[in-house]
Structure 1
Amino acid sequence: MDRIAKLASQRAVVIFSKSTCCMCHAIKRLFYEQGVSPMIHELDEESRGKEMEYALNKLGCSPTVPAVFIGGKFVGSADVVMTLQLNGSLKQMLIDAGALWL
């Protein structure tokens, strides 16, 4: 859990992902297309990926990927991020976290 918290606070936007996950790909693309450069942790390519996935599960991430952190705080998985995008509040969260400038 401490490792997840530490990694999640290293950048304005941090995404825990798996390289083979189509929803992870869609969420990463959503951020890139808005001009945000998130820190990506591909759990299937990390030596401690299984451990990190277990910790994400304990945090309440279900499914465990994609797990999106903005400003060091857990936002949610793909469904939550897409809802925030559709209702217009994702952009403000990114601005508040310093990930996006107007």
Structure 2
Amino acid sequence: MDKIQTLTSENAVVVFSKSTCCLCYAVNMLFQELGVNPLVHELDHDPDGWEIEMALVTLGCNSPPAPAVFIGGNLVGSTNEVMSLHLRGALIPLIRPYQTFA
């Protein structure tokens, strides 16, 4: 979907989220604690949210597809993938160029 492409190409870190999702909140807080201010696109506040969700599933996101995290225009995945990367020490190198502090 064009909206996904536009948002992920114009922003370093994008989280497709839902305002009522606790896992989305946890991922967003993790990025903020690591010094990254992602663009958080709330699917439940977007009239095209359902279409975006279906497009995210097509791209490989789990169902439900929120949160869906893109870093540097690349799909990283959902909560499990982000937390696994973080626990293995592989998330920091991905986000280092986008951190607001060292």
The answer to whether structure 1 residue 16 and structure 2 residue 16 are counterparts is yes
Counterpart of 1:65 in structure 2: which amino acid? A
1:47 CA drift (Å): 1.3
* Partners of 1:32 and 1:80 in 2: CA distance: 17
* Partners of 1:5 and 1:82 in 2: CA distance: 24
The answer to whether structure 1 residue 4 and structure 2 residue 21 are counterparts is no
1:2 CA drift (Å): 2.5
TM-score, scaled to structure 1: 0.93
Aligned to 2:60: 60
Match of 2:16, SS state, is: strand
Aligned to 1:44: 44
TM-score, scaled to structure 2: 0.93
Unaligned stretches of 5+ in structure 1?
A: none
Unaligned stretches of 5+ in structure 2?
A: none
1:62-100 Cα offsets, whole Å, 9 max, x none, are 1301000000100010000000100111000002xx212
**Count of paired positions:** 100
What root-mean-square deviation, in Å, do the aligned CA atoms of Structure 1 and Structure 2 show?
A: 1.0
